[in-house]
Amino acid sequence: GLEGYVIRGPMQPVCINGQPCEEPFAATFHVKQGGNAIQHFTSGADGYFVVYLEPGAYEIVPDEAAPVHQPAQQARAISVGETGLTLVEISFDTGIR
């Protein structure tokens, strides 16, 4: 399976050293394999999620209603390991400039 956090950023047009420019991302995500949607999950307010998947290569794609720039074009490649939960942090672009 897959366990981790999703974040989004930047959250302001100008990022300042020492101040966070990303934030946890609560949304629904689709898991695709070979271009086919096979599962979905929703991250919590803190960005945390767990989704149970067989070992293999997948894409994680934000739902079209997710508050990021062009969600369908932000697929992130993920590889799930053979045993246990694979830990990840996935970042998405808000489009703020």
Distance CA 95, CA 19 (A): 19
Cα of first residue to Cα of last residue in the chain, in angstroms, is: 34
Taking only the tens of pLDDT, the chain with its 97 residues reads: 999 999 999 999 999 999 999 999 999 999 999 999 999 999 999 999 999 999 999 999 999 999 999 999 999 999 999 999 999 999 999 999 8
Joined tokens for residue 57: 């290569």
CA–chain centroid gap for 27, Å, is 9
CB-count exposure of residue 58 (10 Å: 0-12, 13-18, 19+): buried
Q: What is the pTM of this model?
A: 0.91
